[in-house]
Amino acid sequence: MQKSFERRLFGLAGAAALVACGGEPTEDRVRRARSELAAPLPQAFCDIIVDGVGTVPAETDYLPNVVTCENGGAGIEALKAQAIAARSVAYWTMGTDGSICDSQGCQVYSCGRAPSAEAIRAVEETSGLYLSYDSLVTFGFYVDGDHGTAPPTCRGSASSGNPGASREQWITYNEGQTGASVQMSPLGFIPMNQAIFGQNRGCMSQWGARCLENDLGYDVDGILRFYYGDDIEVTQATGPCINTNERAPDGELESVDCSFIEGWSQDPDTPTTAVDVLVYVDEQPGDPAAAPTVVDVADLTRSDLCAALGSCDHGFLIPTPARVFDGNEHTVHVFVSDTEGGADRELGGSPRTVTCNARPDAGSGGAMSDAGPGPSGGSGGGATNSGGAAGASGQGPGSETRVVGQGGCSVTSGSRRTGAGFGLVAALAILGYRRKRARSI
């Protein structure tokens, strides 16, 4: 069964940090693209045997780790394309070799980073999907490519001199191409006198995938077709580890400051039902002893969600808990409950940190009054922006710090509230917020 993709609303808080892991492909990866594996598969590979590691669950361990290690800082659509390509590589390799290496010769599973919330989401939302063509499993080749890949073409240059430019020789640009017109990647096996070979339908650029999503608005389907051809098949595997019915909740933690915790969340299985939002301050979610600091409901009407989600009432605007007003930095995790009984899920953009000075007075409606001269001498203070340092494989995460007036705070990653007199605005927002069953612990 093939699966089509539907564009949805992700990452309302802004662009993700860029932390890619590409590297020079080895001859081992080229060698591993010669044996054929028939499609559709009789059943998904629910366990992956990783050389030097052992057997790990495919959907809940192997793939979230690979997506994080290989392209962890990409946006959700590029991450979903990465998940499908990586699953295709894993399925093909398990079906032909019986195990897979943990290196750039196959794909990287161990890189010292825990799977990100966005990588887990990408794997869940593509559960069991892999590439195929002409009754063969397609080996989803991918490399980092030119790190300077940019619009309007989102095509890298082998002569740019940028990191990754030397890998452009492997990448294929197959948008609009079908059948024998699709270019195979020289990274894989190309049979003699055979114009169509379903196992090799090209190679994806990880930096190009980011450009396509961030700058041209491509979704996962468009990204895959850009590199593997317009007729690439996205096939659904079945098996006990594959969830083809229940979909995990979506959402984004958009800002945390000394007034509010703000974002949106929806469970697509029950798209018109408000879901519980769980806020943890300085707790380790997943620890059996951890308890949420605040439990609230995402039921605030937001016009920007209507078209994207098919329902408007999924925002949340939660007063920042009193315990953070001590001048120390606090870590805030926000999770959403699954209405179908699945595990709680951390929102995109979570966790964030916030530092709030001791509060001299509580504003109307529970909001903090921010009026007063700020540290920079202005009314309500100033804002400073700091970008993360660039790593060897990509741009580091940027952070935005805003300093507000007396009783103010510094927050990471994009709080939108600064300036004198915000206490009144916050109070009016709270009065208009339809709170159903919030409780502070």
Residue with tokens 């309007």: 152
Instruction: Give the per-residue pLDDT at 288.
Output: 76
Residues of the chain above pLDDT 90, percent = 60
Mean pLDDT of 143-164: 96
Average pLDDT score over residue span 274-301:
89
Instruction: Note the pLDDT tens digit of each residue in 328-364.
Output: 999 999 999 887 677 788 999 999 999 999 876 544 3
Tell me the mean pLDDT in the region 182-209.
Answer: 95
Mean pLDDT, residues 60-85 taken together: 96
Query: 3-class DSSP state for residue 326?
Result: coil
- pLDDT over 50 (residue 111): yes
Higher per-residue pLDDT: 21 or 250: 250
Is the pLDDT confidence value at 369 over 90? no
With 90 as the cut, is the pLDDT of residue 225 above it?
yes
**Vertex 85: Cα angle to 249 and 63 (nearest 5):** 55
Q: What is the DSSP string of 92-117?
A: HHHHHTSSB-BSTTSB---SS-PPPH
Query: How many residues are recorded in the chain?
Result: 441
Higher pLDDT, 28 or 358: 358
Closest CA to 407 of 354, 359, 355, 353: 359
> What residue ranges in 257-364 does DSSP mark as E strands?
260-266, 275-281, 294-298, 300-301, 313-319, 329-336, 345-346, 352-356
Give the pLDDT confidence score for residue 209 in this predicted structure. Answer: 97
Residue 3 confidence class, pLDDT cut points 50, 70, 90:
very low
Task: Look at residue 182 and tell me whether its pLDDT is greater than 70.
Answer: yes
E strand intervals along 99-174: 129-133, 136-137, 141-143
Query: 121-130, 174-183, 244-253: which has the minimum mean pLDDT?
Result: 244-253
Q: How confident is the model at residue 29 (pLDDT cuts 50, 70, 90)?
A: very low
Q: How confident is the model at residue 314 (pLDDT cuts 50, 70, 90)?
A: very high
Which of 15-19, 22-26, 136-140 has the largest mean confidence? 136-140
Q: Check residues 359 and 386 and name the one with the higher pLDDT.
A: 359
Cβ 9 vs Cβ 127: under 8 Å? no
Boundaries of every domain in the chain: 27-236, 250-440
pLDDT at res. 416: 32
Q: What is the mean pLDDT of the chain?
A: 77
- At residue 13, the pLDDT reads 26
**Most confident stretch, 23-37, 180-194, 278-292:** 180-194
State the pLDDT at residue 245.
63
Residue with the larger pLDDT of the pair 204 and 16: 204
Q: What pLDDT was estimated at residue 246?
A: 64
| pLDDT the model gives residue 343 | 76
Using CA atoms of 390, 392, 393, 396 in order, give the dihedral in degrees to the nearest 10: -20
Strands 141-143 and 203-205: parallel
Strand partners, 330: 354
Q: What is the pLDDT of residue 354?
A: 95
Output the six-digit token pair for 389. 């340092």
pLDDT band at 250; cut points 50, 70, 90: confident
Count of helices and strands (H, E) across the chain: 8, 20
Please determine, for residue 408, whether its predicted confidence score (pLDDT) is greater than 70: no
Range of lowest pLDDT (51-60, 190-199, 242-251, 342-351): 242-251
